Amino acid sequence: QVQLVESGGGLVQAGGSLRVSCVKSGRTGTIYTMAWFRQAPGKERDFVAAINANGKNTYYAESVKGRFTISRDNAKNTVYLQMNSLKPEDTAAYYCAAGSSRLAPNQDEYRYWGQGTQVTVSS
């Protein structure tokens, strides 16, 4: 079994930066494609970014391209999402996901999920 725990969320002003982290435990010998999704109140969960197992390939939603950067440190079993130039519309609960075999934007392709960390951007 795989457990994912997110951290680093918080309140930030528009234009500011924040980095959220996700630590994977359990079957640490298996390296998966990992991703970040987000869900705003009353809205569906949306894809944000994904990174492949070796960290050399990434994929972003158009809404965050150029502002957000996904990265990973496999030695620490951790994936990061660096968020710059934050906007109020980035306010959401951010979820870490793992288990897809490819850089997929579809949440159904990910087997494991964290509990989420809240990011709030004030205007």
pLDDT digits (tens, 9 = 90+) for 6-18: 999 999 999 999 9
For range 95-121, the mean pLDDT: 93
Mean pLDDT, the chain, whole residue set: 94
Q: For residue 100, is pLDDT > 70?
A: yes
Of 73, 69, 46, give the one whose Cα is nearest residue 59.
69
The reported pLDDT for the residue numbered 75 is 93
The 3-state secondary structure of the chain reads: CEEEEEECCEEEECCCCEEEEEEEEECCCCCCEEEEEEECCCCCCEEEEEECCCCCCEEECCCCCCCEEEEEEHHHCEEEEEECCCCHHHCEEEEEEEEECCCCCCHHHCCEECCCEEEEEEC
The reported pLDDT for the residue numbered 26 is 83
pLDDT tens by residue, 18-44: 999 999 988 767 778 999 999 999 999
Token pair recorded at residue 86: 């934050």
